[in-house]
Amino acid sequence: EAGVAQSPRYKIIEKRQSVAFWCNPISGHATLYWYQQILGQGPKLLIQFQNNGVVDDSQLPKDRFSAERLKGVDSTLKIQPAKLEDSAVYLCASSLGGVDTQYFGPGTRLTVL
Amino acid sequence: GDSVTQMEGPVTLSEEAFLTINCTYTATGYPSLFWYVQYPGEGLQLLLKATKADDKGSNKGFEATYRKETTSFHLEKGSVQVSDSAVYFCALSPKGGGADGLTFGKGTHLIIQP
């Protein structure tokens, strides 16, 4: 069974530029999550989708971050414009929903200079 | 709000030593509790979980018991191996079941020396 796929794996940008990350969840998983992991900290939930609807985006900085899951499968997370403090690993996870385990992708490491 | 506190690392042990990584939580209601592990160069993987008080999760020789009275979920292993070297994260799911976004601790880096 293929795992959660993410791309790119690494990205370096200048502050005030924009960047987008892509996630393809495990086939059949209805629930998709984006987390931000700053160095030395645990992952923090940014947004949760159930199919193509948003369940929780309370910790998403909506002035600069946006995310979509238009067809209820893959998802894109965008930052525009980026700030230095956005440097982090962005993790995507998926689950069947209900009590199922969340499966994490390898992450995208973003460096903002 | 909900939070998870785990012991600071790095924790350095010799092979075959006994391991305990402490984890305590603050949450309303009845959360589910998890331990995730991140091996070098790999993504986060679920190690074990417990969904209600007094449940014991176990996997790969690791164990943790959900203690509601002390709001704790300490990770233990009787005899660690070099291959256990990794970062360990304690996490909770606020409404139980794991369907919600997880709240993680900061992680504990475990180093096992031969």
Would the pLDDT of A1 be above 70?
Answer: no
Which residue in A56, A98, A101 is closest to B101 by CB distance?
A56
- Model confidence pLDDT, tens digit, residues A47-67: 999 988 999 999 999 999 999
- The alpha-carbon gap from A71 to the nearest alpha carbon of chain B, in Å, equals 20
Would the pLDDT of B98 be above 60?
Answer: no
- Model confidence pLDDT, tens digit, residues B6-59: 988 899 999 999 999 999 999 988 899 999 999 988 889 999 999 889 999 999
State which residue of chain B sits closest to A39, comparing Cα positions: B106
What is the rounded distance in angstroms from the CA atom of residue B87 to the CA atom of residue B96? 24
Q: Is B13:B80 a contact under the CB 8 Å cutoff? A: yes
A36: its two tokens: 């931000």
What average pLDDT does the structure give for chain A?
93
User: What pLDDT was estimated at residue A57?
Assistant: 93
In DSSP terms, which residues pair with A12 in a beta bridge? A111
Would the pLDDT of B97 be above 60?
Answer: no
Q: Do A48 and B46 lie within an 8 Å CB cutoff? A: no
Task: Give one word for B18, left, alpha or beta, with left for phi > 0 and alpha for psi -120 to 50.
Answer: beta
A15: its two tokens: 């502050």
Residue pointed to by tokens 């530029």: A17
Q: Residue B42: its chain A contacts at CB < 8 A?
A: 106
Q: Phi, psi at residue A110, to the nearest 5°?
A: -105, 130
Nearest 10 degrees: Cα torsion A14, A34, B34, B18 = -20
What is the rounded distance in angstroms from the CA atom of residue B87 to the CA atom of residue B34? 14
What is the rounded distance in angstroms from the CA atom of residue B27 to the CA atom of residue B43? 26
- Model confidence pLDDT, tens digit, residues A90-103: 999 999 876 678 99
Q: Do A42 and B91 lie within an 8 Å CB cutoff? A: yes
Q: Does B114 touch chain A (CB under 8 A)?
A: no
What is the rounded distance in angstroms from the CA atom of residue B49 to the CA atom of residue B97? 10
- Model confidence pLDDT, tens digit, residues B47-67: 999 988 999 999 999 999 999
Q: Do B43 and A104 lie within an 8 Å CB cutoff? A: yes
Residue whose C-alpha is closest to residue A32's, from B101, B47, B32: B101
User: What pLDDT was estimated at residue B99?
Assistant: 64
State which residue of chain A sits closest to B97, comparing Cα positions: A99
